[in-house]
Copies of this chain bind each other. A is one copy, B any other.
Amino acid sequence: MVKELETDLLAKGIRPTAMRLLVLDYLLKQSAAVSLNDLETYFLKADRITLYRTLKKFEDKGIVHKIEDGTSSVKYALCPESCYGMAYCDLHLHFYCTQCQNTFCLPKTRIPELQLPENYQPEEISLTVKGKCSNCS
Contact = CB atoms under 8 A, between A and B. Distances in A.
Given A93-B114, A126-B70, A120 B98 contact: no
Nearest to A93: B114
Interface in A83-137: 93, 95, 98, 106, 108-109, 112, 114-134, 137
A68 interface: yes
A126 B123 contact: no
B121 A117 contact: no
Contacts of A128: 125-127
Contact of A134 (B108, B120, B137): B120
B122 A130 contact: yes
Contacts of A70: 68, 126
Nearest to A106: B117
A129 B114 contact: yes
Contacts of A119: 133-134, 137
B98 A123 contact: yes
A137 B123 contact: no
Contacts of A137: 119-121
A132 B121 CA distance: 5
Interface of A: 68, 70, 93, 95, 98, 106, 108-109, 112, 114-134, 137
